[in-house]
Structure 1
């Protein structure tokens, strides 16, 4: 599968020799690589799915299907609006067009904080996962901080290079991490599982249990980043088609793949024994399964691929953050310097450098405070980031029907009203589940959890106040915010 295309004479003028993004570079597969890599399928499965099995029992696969269906419904209205709003700002541009500038600027600040939270916290996971891998494979004990700092440099460099370079890297890493999971599934299916294959995971009696609510909370966060397809609009080939296709492929793939892999792991241990196996050794469940059904070498390879899965997720989020920062710098909200684009690579390189410096500051602050890289740096930083992105999805879903009621269009009522309203209801329930089960994600005290949850509305309100200040002090910036990049569907 090719991730780049040869430059044609017609496209030569679009090359970034004058500091422009590489327009017309990314195809459907490329964008899909970015958004699926951000979700880190192998890390989510090996690191989180066993906990979902402990909480939800053998009905856990259904939770991923339900989350996937909900987000597919959201994608209907989301991709429809992508044909009408051309901004690289995605969420904030859509929300502004539907709900107004104060809400849109509040959403913009929440997006910057949310995406940074989802990325920076993962540097803690990179450090611990690499240390675990080194110990498991070679008996080495290495500190987490140097690994995290080395990861910061690697990710900065990946973002500094051209977008097609990033697409190639993510394509290779994504194929590798999904491939090892497919290998596990194939081994289980070929050997018939622990006692024959069973579809009991889909039986209503196993799905409709109290623990399913907790599974759903984990499942929704497992899709984080899928909506970033729209951020790459300016670099996409035929964005009117490429963006919707990539969004639907990402959501459908993740939903079906997650459910299938969790189901196969349940078959690996058997319906009667898998919950106990996951309870006894959640972190080792997938490694034990692949060692049994494929071989010890595959378990060793999975250890290594978890590290590369984390790196792929970091690079995908880093690129998304850079383009959000670029869009906001062009709007006049962030410093203009962040809008500079590398004359050769066509990348928002100063936005990438600023993001790397921010990541460095946060990682070092946690390290100097003696914080645990997993339970504190990862979980405390990631959790509000994930909730923030879900809140943005909800705001976007609410904005879509309002927008289409105001403009002339030929879109159907299902796409412009029914789907987004349904998605808004489902996303409200999903956010409620995540907040209610927040202790499962953080393992922190009630006070810490309250602060982490409160950060999301707090950042949004701060953004609204910034908007009101802009309206008074910089009316020209306020007036043009998210206004120009719009178009009407004929």
Structure 2
């Protein structure tokens, strides 16, 4: 039977009494889901912590790098969100890749997703400890050890994930408004005062964009969007998911691309086109603090220090919630232990998966601390980097899965959405992965040997997933055959 574009409602979207306890369906609107995605990206931390390095390496054309990354991911979102109307499974990348490329590749993607999302979260506990240490030292002159802060953060984030999803959405909404607000305040100060030498649009001219350093800027820019695709993980808790999820995806990508480019441009104007590179080289970590002190006041720099810590907390909570729902979907499928599928009867949260994730985070943090590792240079960068690479690889696999998926049944979607956009995004994402790999030293500051090990983690994990798939096919064929299954009556399930 031909597809209509609106397959029948799946059991995951319904709310039968027998399904209790279950995730809270209908809890999240477009803005709520967008808050989770944008918070995971940690805009203030990305701007204050990474954008100065992008300016230093790429020059005043750096804002365009963020625009190009946003455009690439918006093209990816076309096929991705089109497929979301047909694939109702909460496993996101895993489910999409399974439906398009088969269970074996799908399980490889599932392990990559677990490593990717956990890497993106657990490494950030090192950043939380480091940022809190720096903030306390800057504001109060105290030396706060990083480990107790990171462990306390694990408990706080664990509690946030234990509570209902709408609790998390409200908290992230407040934190996101605060961190973006301080950047808007900086931009307003620069615009009102006309910058250092008058406002200039030289950042957007071809001569400043097409320079050797743009490749490095693009690598940083793609990393700054990591996690935006997690909108589909919340489809079971979304109101009208067929509309809410695509809208939230485009809203998140559009906001991040435009906001990043605008804020980087205003930072350049704060120092002037001719002086900003020298300023970034002289004090890379302090560039944004210096700018806001000059154009707004010292008090705003103090507030920015505090909000970087809350920005990191918001990012941690967003990733924690995403990981829990991924683990829930995979445990329901039998890929992970069934115990992880338990949902809290009152809060409607996958609390067992959350506890497991918190324990895993504590083990990794304590292991790095016992080894005497630096919380930023080693815990953050060594754990985050494979996570970032894994998620980029998953985006590429998902883009390739879209046209393969839509070849399998009759539908009314246009070729632009089902072939042109996903194939184009696959080519662009392949370029992005190459850029990141060739500039990995800029992310880690580590030796070639260390960077090689970090990069090799991704294919090793994927191959382990293929091995797990082969084992499931032999020993648990019923699980293998039912992976990412669609409800009866959905033509896409055929």
Cα–Cα, structure 1 residues 489 and 460, in superposed 2: closer, same or farther, change >3 Å? closer
Given that 1:83 and 1:489 are in contact with CA atoms closer than 8 Å, whether structure 2 keeps it comes out as no
Q: For 2:422 and 2:465, locate their aligned partners in 1 and report how far apart those are by CA, in whole Å.
A: 24
Contact 2:486 2:492 in 1 (8 A): no
Distance 1:15 1:279 in 2: 61
Other-structure match for 2:62: 60
Rounded to whole Å, the distance in 1 between the matches of 2:407 and 2:486 is: 19
Match of 1:141 in 2: 143
1:4 matched to which residue of 2?
none
Whole-Å separation in 1 of the counterparts to 2:487 and 2:331: 15
How far apart, in 2, do the equivalents of 1:421 and 1:63 lie? 21
Q: State the shift of 1:18 in Å.
A: 2.8
Tell me: CA distance 1:69–1:131, structure 2 relative to 1, closer, same or farther (3 Å): same
TM-score, normalised with respect to structure 1: 0.96
Partner of 1:112: 114
C-alpha distance in structure 1 between counterparts of 2:423 and 2:360, whole Å: 36
Shift of 1:483: 1.5
Matched, 1:436 2:441: no
Alpha carbons of 1:394 and 1:12: their partners in 2 closer, same or farther (altered >3 Å)?
Answer: closer
Q: Match of 2:126?
A: 124
1:233–1:243 CA contact under 8 A, matched in 2? yes
CA distance in 2, matches of 1:225, 1:151: 20
Consecutive aligned runs of 4 or more in structure 1 exceeding 4 Å deviation: 11-17
Write the distance in 1 (CA, Å) between the matches of 2:16 and 2:437: 46
Residue 50 of structure 1: which of 39, 52, 70 is its match?
52
Which residue number corresponds to residue 7 of structure 1?
A: none
Q: How does 1:316-465 map to 2 (within 5 A)?
A: 316-465=318-467
| Equivalent position to 1:154, from 145, 156, 160 | 156
d(CA) in 2 for partners of 1:290, 1:14: 53
The number of equivalent residue pairs is 480
Q: Structure 1 residue 16: deviation in Å?
A: 11
1:25 to partner: Cα distance: 0.6
Deviation at 1:19, TM superposition (A): 1.3
Q: How far apart in 2 are the matches of 1:459 and 1:305? A: 35
- Compute the displacement of 1:13 (Å): 6.4
The alpha-carbon deviation at position 484 of structure 1 amounts to: 2.7
Q: Of the candidates 460, 467, 478, which is equivalent to residue 476 of structure 1?
A: 478
Residues 89 and 324 of structure 1 are in contact (CA less than 8 Å); yes or no, is this contact kept in structure 2?
Answer: yes
Structure 2 distance, partners of 1:133, 1:325, is 34
Cα offset, 1:408, TM superposition: 1.4
Q: Given that residues 341 and 349 in structure 1 are in contact (C-alpha distance below 8 angstroms), is that contact kept between their aligned partners in structure 2?
A: yes
Aligned residues of 1:52 and 1:215 also touching (Cα < 8 A): yes
> Given the alignment, which residue of 94, 98, 101 partners 1:99?
101
Looking at structure 2, the residues matched to 303 and 227 of structure 1 have their Cα atoms a distance apart, in angstroms, of 29
- Aligned counterparts of 1:16 and 1:248: Cα–Cα separation in 2: 35
Structure 2 residue 176 is the aligned partner of structure 1 residue 178: no
CA deviation string 1:319-340 (max 9, x = no partner): 0000000000000010000000
- Deviation, structure 1 residue 14: 6.9
* Counterparts in 2 of 1:171 and 1:77: CA distance versus 1, 3 Å: same
Separation (CA, whole Å) in 2 of partners of 1:88 and 1:97: 13
- Pick closer, same or farther for the CA change 1:457–1:13 going to 2, 3 Å: closer
Distance between the aligned counterparts of 1:187 and 1:467, measured in 2? 56
Question: Aligned pair 1:272/2:274, yes or no?
Answer: yes
Separation in 1 of the partners of 2:279 and 2:261? 19
Checking the alignment, whether the CA contact within 8 Å between 1:87 and 1:485 is kept in structure 2 is no
CA contact (8 A) 2:231 2:249 kept: yes
What is the deviation of 1:38?
Answer: 0.2
Classify the secondary structure of the residue corresponding to 1:133: helix
C-alpha distance after superposition, 1:24-81 (max 9, x if no partner): 1100000000000000000000000000000000000000000000000000000000
TM-score (norm. length: structure 2): 0.96
Partner of 2:192: 190
Structure 2 gap ranges (5+): 1-12
Corresponding residue number in structure 2 for 1:5 = none
Counterpart CA distance in 2 for 1:201 and 1:309 is 27
CA separation of 1:52/1:464 partners in 2, compared to 1, >3 Å: closer, same or farther? same
Q: Given that residues 123 and 383 in structure 2 are in contact (C-alpha distance below 8 angstroms), is that contact kept between their aligned partners in structure 1? A: yes
Secondary structure at the residue paired with 1:406? coil
In the alignment, structure 1 segments of 5+ residues that lack a partner are 1-10
* Cα distance, 1:406 vs structure 2: 1.0
1:70-94 alpha-carbon deviations (Å, 9 max, x no partner): 0000000000000010010010100
Contact 2:190 2:295 in 1 (8 A): yes
Query: Counterpart of 1:124 in 2: which secondary structure?
Result: helix
Separation in 2 of the partners of 1:15 and 1:373?
47
Q: Is the 8 A contact 1:16 1:22 kept in 2?
A: no
Spell out, residue by residue over 1:271-307, the C-alpha distance to the aligned partner (whole angstroms, 9 max, x if none): 0000000001011000000010011110000000000
